[in-house]
Structure 1
Amino acid sequence: MFYRLATVTLLATLFASAIAQQLCNGHQEFCNKTFDELTYIITHNSYGFMPNPAANQLCPVTTQLDDGVRGLKLSAVKPSNQTSNAPENAIHLCHTSCSILDAGPAVDTLKNITQWVKDNPNEVITIMWNNIGDYKVQDFEAAYKASGILDYVHVQAWENLTWPKLQDMIQSGKRVVNFLDNNSDQTKVPWLMSQFPYVFETPYDNKNESSFSCVIDRPQDPPDPDNMMYVMNHFLYGTLNFGNTQIEIPQKGSADTTNSDSLKKQAQTCTQTFGRQPNYLEVDFYNYGDTLSIAAQLNNVTYDNKPLQCDAYVAQSAQKGNGKKSDASHFNVGVLAPFMISLFPLLFLL
């Protein structure tokens, strides 16, 4: 009897393991899909979650990934006061200017992403870079090499729009897709793909709900729009006036509405306009509204409506009083007045 029970238990364990191995980005249905057939949530300025009026998110990138985010939009900016000469520390993650919000060297965030990718072997993610600091590909290569993430980067041949299936990417271990919006050079760094031969974007500078549209904004003349992937930008900018200077900041107060029916409506419109669902829904405050549920609907799978870890992180931070500072953050601002003061040096640059 004991041996029979042990055999049944072993078979059940093996069966559960086999089922788990068939999951790709959390769903068995995705395994046979090519990378460009699915919709992914990509967080705008993913690194910016510390208490700061310019922050676009509310929790760390690894928490975002735990919740089901599969795309990270990062901005590479030259720091206001560089304290390290190490090549891997050259790139900082900042909100337009590091005087506004500085999340520290990109390599630190990349190390966290690397560990998450290592711990989640059945997941495929995307990292998209806004190269605001006009960095060279060698600068990105140094940060990636130091982080360890190079072991996982996917290489897509130049202008090849035929993407592999998720299960093939997972089996190969090359599960991190990287795009750079300018200064790419795939002859030198083939895994850091130039974004716009592969992916176009809808307009991003939106101030109200009525401004969302389904037209191609970047690049102006895409090489093959019918076969390219695309980012549907769906976040709102507010403005903060400081003397004659106008600073754009996210609209957290309206995120519940922006990330619900408004998001679904634009996704439906873009699907009709472009003849296929959006590949990336780029949002602020992804844990507000119905962001992840809408992505699941577009992918024709059932959304697992479990509590978000980001909400737990926010609640825990609130209990601690002033919020939790990011380990990577070099800019800990919790109220508007110090934020305004920090912008004063920018007046002399404008």
Structure 2
Amino acid sequence: MRFPFFHRILALSALCGVFGGTLPTKRQQPTVCNGHAELCSRPYGNITFLGSHDSYAFSTDPLIVSRDQEVDIVSQLDLGVRMLQAEGHLNDDGVLHFCHTSTRVLIYLVWIDLLVFFYYSIGCLLFDGGTVEAYLTTVKTWLDANPDEVLTFLFTNGDGLSISETWAPAFVAAGIDTVSYIPPINPMTRSDWPTLGDLISADTRVITFMDAGADGTDGPPVDYILPEFTMLWEPPFDSTDASFPCSVNRTSGPLTNEQHLNLLNHNLDVSVLGILLPNLADAATTNGVASIIADSNGCTAFTGGLAANFVLLDWVDIGEGPQAVDQLNGFSS
């Protein structure tokens, strides 16, 4: 078969692309990763990251007692937060939102079990953080402007919603799926993870964990939305003890505790008439270097002596969270 001249030119161009190295390639290895040159060669599983608990629930209004943060998502990221935790639910409009389902504020108003149940059934009543798609779009814009940063999501799927039908479309609409890491094996041990430099050069800079449904129990799984507890264990949450006694509270799967990643639920609550509220008054102490490092050290019996991977805080703009994480990573502040 004879090819027209123009088609032959295209064919030669394609061959030159294959043999001449003009096909798309990975980025060059970055020189600074998540703010430190030393982290580029360090595996993701051997790094401590600062996390924001209920990251969407930000407000400066002291009357909103269900808030857990005072600064918005972009400000949190600019402060050094590299894990964003959030809880998703379908709102009355049938769209996936980030919001609380805690009844702690409602109980202040009416102490009746029936109304508590009613609150649980109608979605985002007290603190609506907006749609998941809008939240992820905000994060994607920040990631595009900060190409040498690796970010982790930790999302709660309390309603057992379909990952493929309800969660994944928000990731796709925001473009987060295009920069998400897909592990070659599942589960990944703590030592299996690539370096930050490799994640950045491949532009797979987002790792997403989901607490329920990502293992396929609530419909088809999505390869970049990872089951949390088979790879990441948690200690107890809603602690009212400022010493944060450590134990393995939530985990699953075949890996040992030492093979899992782990986080610190280092967000202190205070009990008011039996209702647990975020303890803003003691945030400076809770988020201090001494308290965070003591909490991490208290969990080393379950991590093989390694520092925690994630430090999840309320009020990330208060205290010394970034300095504590730097110290856990071996850097002087």
TM band (smaller chain): 0.7 to 0.9
Whole-Å Cα distance in 2 between the matches of residues 191 and 27 of structure 1? 26
Per the alignment, residue 142 of structure 2 pairs with 116
2:248 and 2:302 in contact (8 A); partners too: no
Contact 1:200 1:222 in 2 (8 A): no
SS at match of 1:209: coil
Alpha-carbon distance in 2 for matches of 1:191, 1:21: 23
Q: Unaligned 5+ residue runs, structure 1? A: 1-18, 304-350
- SS at structure 1 position matched to 2:125: strand
User: What's the offset of the Cα at 1:135?
Assistant: 1.2
Structure 1 pair 273/158, CA: closer, same or farther in 2 (3 Å)? closer
CA deviations on 1:207-238 (whole Å, 9 max, x unpaired) are 1314x122100026763211111011111123
Measured at CA, do residues 61 and 185 of structure 1 come closer, stay the same or move farther in structure 2, by a change above 3 Å? same
Match of 1:282 in 2: 312
Deviations 1:46-71 (A, max 9, x none): 01102321111111111111111100
* Residues 1:95 and 2:100 are matched in the alignment: yes
Does residue 256 in structure 1 map to residue 265 in structure 2? no
Secondary structure, counterpart of 1:252 in structure 2: coil
Distance, in Å, in 1 between the alignment partners of 2:178 and 2:253 is: 34
User: Where does residue 223 of structure 2 map in the other structure?
Assistant: 190
CA distance in 2, matches of 1:40, 1:259: 14
Question: In the alignment, does 2:177 pair up with 1:145?
Answer: no
Aligned ranges 1:191-210 → 2 under 5 Å: 191-210=224-243
- Structure 2 residue 89 is the aligned partner of structure 1 residue 63: no
Candidates 300, 313, 318, aligned match of 1:271: 300
State the Cα deviation string for residues 81-127 of structure 1 (Å, max 9, x = none). Answer: 32xx5xxxx21111225222111111111000000111111000100
What is the Cα-based RMSD across aligned positions, in Å? 2.0
Higher deviation after alignment, 103-112 or 185-194: 185-194
How far has the Cα of 1:269 moved from its partner?
Answer: 2.1
Is 1:25 the counterpart of 2:55? The answer is no
Q: Tell me, what secondary structure is at the counterpart of 1:99?
A: coil
Give the SS at the match of 1:256: helix
* Secondary structure class of the residue paired with 2:160: coil
Q: Say which SS state the counterpart of residue 154 (structure 2) adopts.
A: strand
Task: For residues 16-63 of structure 1, give each alpha carbon's deviation from its aligned partner in whole angstroms, at most 9, with x where no partner exists.
Answer: xxx994001110000000000000011100011023211111111111
Q: Distance in 2 between matches of 1:292 and 1:39?
A: 10
Aligned to 1:225: 257
Query: 8 Å contact 1:196–1:222 — kept in the other structure?
Result: no
Q: Give the match for residue 209 of structure 2.
A: 179
Determine helix, strand or coil for the equivalent of 1:55: coil
Higher radius of gyration, 1 or 2: 2
In the TM superposition, residue 176 of structure 1 has moved relative to its aligned partner by 0.2
Query: Which residue identity does 1:69 align to in structure 2?
Result: V
What is the one-letter code of the residue matched to 1:101? F
Whole-angstrom CA distance in 2 between matches of 1:198 and 1:55: 29
**Worse overlay, 174-183 or 259-268:** 259-268
Runs of 4+ in 1 over 4 A off after TM superposition: none
Indicate the residue corresponding to 1:323 in structure 2: none
Assess if the C-alpha contact under 8 Å between 2:29 and 2:198 holds in 1: no
Q: Which of 36, 42, 57 does residue 51 from structure 2 map onto?
A: 42
* Counterpart-to-counterpart distance in 1, 2:47 and 2:156: 23
Distance 1:166 1:223 in 2: 23
SS of equivalent to 2:307: coil
Task: Tell me how far 1:239 sits from its aligned partner.
Answer: 3.9
CA distance, structure 1, for counterparts of residue 240 and residue 319 of structure 2? 18
Higher normalized helix content (fraction of residues): 1
Say which SS state the counterpart of residue 41 (structure 1) adopts. strand
- Seen in structure 2, the aligned counterparts of structure 1 residues 240 and 131 have a Cα distance that, compared at 3 Å, is farther
Is residue 2:90 matched to residue 1:78? yes
Give the Cα separation in 2 of the matches to 1:94 and 1:279: 25
2-structure distance, mates of 1:269, 1:44: 20
Instruction: Provide the residue aligned with 1:136 in structure 2.
Output: 162
Aligned residue for 2:9? Answer: none
**TM-score normalised per structure 1:** 0.74
8 Å Cα contact 2:229/2:252 also seen in 1 = no
SS at match of 2:246: coil
Identity %: 29
